[in-house]
Amino acid sequence: MAQSFVVLGGSTVTNTGSSVVSGNLGVSPGSAVTGFPPGLMIDGTIHAADVNALQAQSDDTAAYNTLAAQPCNFNLTGQDLVGLTLVPGVYCFKSSAQLSGALTLDAQGDPNAVFVFRIDSTLTTASNASVRVTNGSNGCNVFWQVGSSATIGTGTTFVGSILALTSITLTTGASLSGRALAQTGAVTMDSNQVSFASCATNAPSDGGASGTPDGDTPPSCCQGTACGTACVDLQTDSNHCGSCDHACAPSETCQLGTCTTCQANLCGTECVDLVSDPNNCGNCGTVCAPNQPCVGGYCGPCPGTMCGTWCVDLQSDRHDCGRCGNACQPDESCIHGSCALICR
């Protein structure tokens, strides 16, 4: 039942301004829903303390408990998520979690990849922060289990289902491609966009691994290009380089939407530079520690700037141009710390 709700409060749901909710909105055991109108409901109805909202809260509690029981793969306690590129797994915070800029979730070509964030205390984002899903990642399989309350900052673009024990606040202009589900407190909105893809996203007993898109419907929260059920970056995805039906040869890599013959080294089907790739430093499969990037084919101290667990050159790195978390657009390159259009 909870999978049909995109907004669910425990005590109240309040809205200010022209929010748009695509899906059902509910509250239970409380009964107060205010601000609709001017808030707009699309393809959904309001359920205030009725049997549907009650069942949705029961499903939400079960999903919350399932996520909270997932074993940790990575401990990020005390670390800001800004500038990180994360692979599928369970990420744990023993206290609060914050996002002060851009976060990238890389499914590594697996459309069923699952990202779980277990946060014991609060989740807070800065204004204009963002969560981006890439390389087949499906926002339906991103879950944020929050031990108290979540606050999504002004103008932030956020992805995933937020399951908070207490309350959720979406501040002015924030958009959520996912769900805002609060068990005991309020969901507070202010001129927000809340929507979700039609896929099975109520966290199952495996932590969400079986949550897959419905038929061949692409995720509505796709931040790149929808190729069938996959959300891809046509600038870099070797399986969909430039267009959905164009795959690069094993000896090629996708660079700015064009297949280019590998001039470095092939590690499986990936074209890598063994002199600088921290995941294949000197030899395929040799992985450097987070604070020991690959320098000249061996793992050593970072000669540039650490952005999360990555060692970058802020003068040339288009994902952290000038400062950590400042990503250039696909048609831009990072030149001397500033994003500049690429001439073609």
pLDDT tens-place string over residues 250-303: 667 777 778 878 777 877 667 778 888 888 888 888 888 777 778 778 788 777
Q: How far apart are CA 69 and CA 56, in angstroms?
A: 20
| Sign of the alpha-carbon dihedral angle for 288, 291, 293, 295 | negative
The residue ranking higher by pLDDT, 182 or 328, is 182
**Residue 90 is encoded by which pair of tokens?**
């369970």
Least confident range of 9-23, 174-188, 262-276, 308-322: 262-276
Query: How many structural domains does the chain have?
Result: 4
Evaluate whether residue 225 is within a structural domain: no
The verdict on 179 and 30 lying in the same domain is yes
323 and 315 Cβ atoms separated by less than 8 Å: no
The verdict on 43 and 171 lying in the same domain is yes
* pTM for the structure as a whole: 0.60
One-letter amino acid at 245 equals D
The residue segments making up the domain with residue 255 are 234-263
91 and 119 Cβ atoms separated by less than 8 Å: no
Q: How far apart are CA 132 and CA 331, in angstroms?
A: 17
Evaluate whether residue 228 is within a structural domain: no
**Residue 268 is encoded by which pair of tokens?**
């499986």
Give the contacts of 53 (CB within 8 A, at least 6 positions apart). Answer: 5, 8, 26, 27, 28, 47
**Residue 67 is encoded by which pair of tokens?**
């996520």
Please check the confidence at residue 137 and state whether its pLDDT lies above 70: no
Q: How far apart are CA 81 and CA 270, in angstroms?
A: 26
Please check the confidence at residue 212 and state whether its pLDDT lies above 60: no
